[in-house]
Amino acid sequence: MKRVIPCLDVAAGRVVKGRSFVALRDVGDPVALAARYEAEGADEIVLLDITATIEGRGALLDVVRRAAERLSVPLTVGGGVRGADDVATLLRAGADKVSVNSALHFSPALLGEAAARFGAQCIVASLDARASSSGWEIVIHGGRTPTGRDAVAWAEECARRGAGEILLTSVDRDGRGTGYDLALVDAVARAVPVPVVASGGAGAPEHLAAALRAGADAALVAGMLHDGGFTISDLKAAVARAGLPVRETQATVAPASGGTA
Nearest CA among 43, 79, 217 for reference residue 87: 79
DSSP string, 30-81: HHHHHHHHHHHT-S-EEEEETTTTTTT----HHHHHHHHHH--S-EEEESS-
DSSP for residue 135: E
Bridge partner residues of 19 (DSSP): 22
Report whether 255 contacts 234 (CB < 8 A).
no
Catalytic pick among 43, 49, 86, 128: 128
Nearest CA among 91, 45, 98, 90 for reference residue 71: 45
Distance CA(212)–CA(219), nearest Å, equals 7
Cβ neighbours around 154 below 10 Å, total:
23
Could you give the 3-state DSSP secondary structure of residue 128?
strand
Nearest CA among 194, 196, 176 for reference residue 185: 196
Active site residue 128: yes
Catalytic pick among 9, 43, 150, 174: 9
Task: Give the type of residue at 102.
Answer: S
Which positions are annotated as active-site residues? 9, 128
